[in-house]
């Protein structure tokens, strides 16, 4: 891929890109991964506490406690987004705050806040899912493929 792209570049461009790349500050990938692991883990731990709370204090089972837990987590993400904290957390945590359901909530809520100035219909309604839309699309498509494979395996008697 990278080599394919380079084919269209002149020698001067290639030489400069090499020159530039030597001076470019790279993303600290290992450090980012470690931070993402711990912050992401911490968010999941909080989620686990909330789920356990619902199971022990209300009439929820392990299967049914998922929905109220997700709702509470997204509500917290909404508050943090509205108060301008979530984006700062994300600069530190990276994927750690983007991958859990709170990151999905943040993507929807931040877009809704951002486009409130263009009105409720065209602004909020039209833009709310501009970031999260691709996540939903990928999720639905992936689920479809997996369901297709499962159906075929059952048809062929493999399952």
Partner 1 sequence: MRTWEFEQRPVIVSTGTVGGPFEANGRLADDFDTLHDDLWLNEATYEKAHKVLFEEASLRALEKAGITKEQVDFFIGGDLINQITPTSFTAKTIGAGYFGLFGACSTSMEGLALSAFIINNGGAACIVTGSASHNAAVEKQFRYPTEYGAQKPPTSQWTVTGAGASVVMAQGEGPVVTSATIGKVVDMGLTDPMNMGGAMAPAAVDTIETHFRDRKIDASHYDLIATGDLGHIGREVAFDLLKKHGTDIPEEKFQDCGLLIYREDQPVLAGASGAGCSAVVTYGHLLNRMKKGELRRILIVATGALLSPLTFQQGETIPCIAHAVSIEYGGGNL
Contacting positions for partner 1 (CB under 8 A) = 8-10, 12-14, 16-17, 19-20, 23-28, 32, 81-82, 84, 86-87, 89-91, 93-95, 97-98, 103, 106-107, 109-111, 113-115, 117, 131
Smallest CA-to-CA distance from 96 within 138, 50, 46, 41 is with 41
Closer residue to partner 1 (CB): 27 or 121? 27
Q: How far is the CB of 79 from partner 1 (least distance, A)?
A: 12
CA angle 72, 76, 81 (to 5 degrees): 145
Secondary structure element (H or E) that encloses residue 53, with its range: helix 29-57
Closer residue to partner 1 (CB): 69 or 110? 110
27-33 long-range Cβ contacts below 8 angstroms, 24+ apart: 32/94, 32/95, 33/95
Closer residue to partner 1 (CB): 73 or 107? 107
DSSP states along 31-49: HHHHHHHHHHHHHHHHHHH
Closer residue to partner 1 (CB): 82 or 139? 82
Q: How far is the CB of 30 from partner 1 (least distance, A)?
A: 14
The span from the CA of 40 to the CA of 37, in Å, is: 5
Q: How far is the CB of 122 from partner 1 (least distance, A)?
A: 14
Q: How far is the CB of 49 from partner 1 (least distance, A)?
A: 22
Closer residue to partner 1 (CB): 55 or 74? 74
């Amino acid at each position: 891929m990278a080599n394919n792209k380079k084919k269209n570049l002149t020698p001067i461009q290639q030489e400069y890109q090499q020159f530039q790349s030597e001076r470019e500050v790279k993303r600290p990938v290992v450090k980012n991964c470690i931070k993402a692991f711990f912050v992401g883990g911490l968010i999941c731990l909080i989620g686990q506490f909330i789920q356990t709370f619902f199971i022990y204090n209300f009439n929820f089972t392990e299967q049914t406690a998922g929905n109220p837990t997700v709702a509470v987590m997204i509500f917290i993400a909404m508050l943090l987004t509205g108060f301008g904290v979530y984006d700062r957390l994300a600069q530190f945590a990276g994927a750690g705050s983007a991958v859990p359901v709170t990151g999905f909530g943040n993507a929807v809520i931040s877009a809704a806040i951002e486009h409130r100035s263009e009105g409720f219909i065209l602004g909020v309604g039209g833009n709310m899912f501009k970031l999260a839309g691709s996540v939903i699309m990928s999720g639905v498509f992936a689920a479809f493929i997996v369901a297709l494979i499962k159906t075929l395996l059952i048809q062929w008697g493999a399952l």
